[in-house]
Amino acid sequence: MPKPKIFWPNTPPSSMTESTETIKAFVKDDFAVTLVCPSCGTTKTVSVASYKSKCHFIKVRCPCQTLFRVQLEFRRHYRKPVDLEGFFKSIKPTGMSGDVHIEDVSQGGVGFRTTNVHFLEKGHVLSLNFTLDDKHGTRLIKEVVVMSVDGDFIGCSFTEKQAYDKKLGFYLKG
C-alpha cells in the first residue's frame, strides 16, 4: 500500500520529530478534514478527496517539524429516502434506456426501481437524469455505475469524477 503524505506548505523537509500518536480526523461530506498537530496544536484544513477509499492512514508534517499519523474517518454516506422520477440511458454498453423511480439518494449514489423490464447488470455505466423535489426542481444528470441488481431494484454509485455535488449536498441536508 502506498504511503501518501500531505505536506503543509513552506515546511523545510529536515530535522523532523516523529510523533508516536495517531490522531483521528473526521472527513466531512466535501472531503475536507481538519488536522490538529498533537505537538503544537496548529490546525489545518485539507482536502482528502483523493484518498477516498484508498488509504485511511496518512502522514502529516506540521510546520513545527512534528510528523504524525492521522486516521481518516470517512463517514458512511447518509441515504435519504426519496420518491423521484427520472430516466436512464446506458453509456456502457450503449443502447438501453428507461424510466425509473429513484428511492434513495446519497452523496455517493442512488437506488432506483425500473418501471419496465431491464437488462442492467453490475458494472454497467449509465447516465441518470432526475429531478429533485426541492423548491427549485433541480435537475441532475449523473453518471453512475451499477453496483447491485436485485430484481427491478438497482443500486448505483456516482462515478469518481463527479464524487461531490453541491446541489445534492444541499438537498441531502434539507
96 is an interface residue for Zn ion by CB under 5 A: no
102 is an interface residue for Zn ion by CB under 5 A: no
Q: How many CA atoms lie within 13 A of 162 on its CB side?
A: 19
Which amino acid would we find at residue 114? T
> CB neighbours (10 Å) of residue 99?
13
| Among the listed residues 49, 64, 96, 145, the single contact to Zn ion using CB under 5 A | 64
Q: Are 114 and 156 in contact (CB under 8 A)?
A: no
Distance CA 16, CA 64 (A): 8
19 is an interface residue for Zn ion by CB under 5 A: no
| Among the listed residues 66, 90, 107, 114, the single contact to Zn ion using CB under 5 A | 66
**Which of the ranges 62-70, 78-86, 116-124, 161-169 carries the binding residues for Zn ion, by CB under 5 A?**
62-70
CB of 60 to Zn ion, least distance (A): 9
All three cell numbers of 170, joined, read 444541499
Residue 167: closest CA among 45, 153, 158, 145: 158
| Among the listed residues 5, 18, 30, 40, the single contact to Zn ion using CB under 5 A | 40
Within positions 42 to 61, which residues make up the interface with Zn ion, using CB under 5 A?
42
Nearer to Zn ion, 66 or 114 (CB): 66
141 is an interface residue for Zn ion by CB under 5 A: no
- CB-based burial, 75-92: b 16+ in 10 Å, e otherwise: eeeebeebebebbbebee
62 is an interface residue for Zn ion by CB under 5 A: yes
Nearer to Zn ion, 36 or 96 (CB): 36
CA angle 141, 93, 146 (to 5 degrees): 60
CB of 41 to Zn ion, least distance (A): 7
37 is an interface residue for Zn ion by CB under 5 A: yes
Which amino acid would we find at residue 19? S
Which residues of this protein are in contact with Zn ion, per CB under 5 A?
37, 39-40, 42, 62, 64, 66
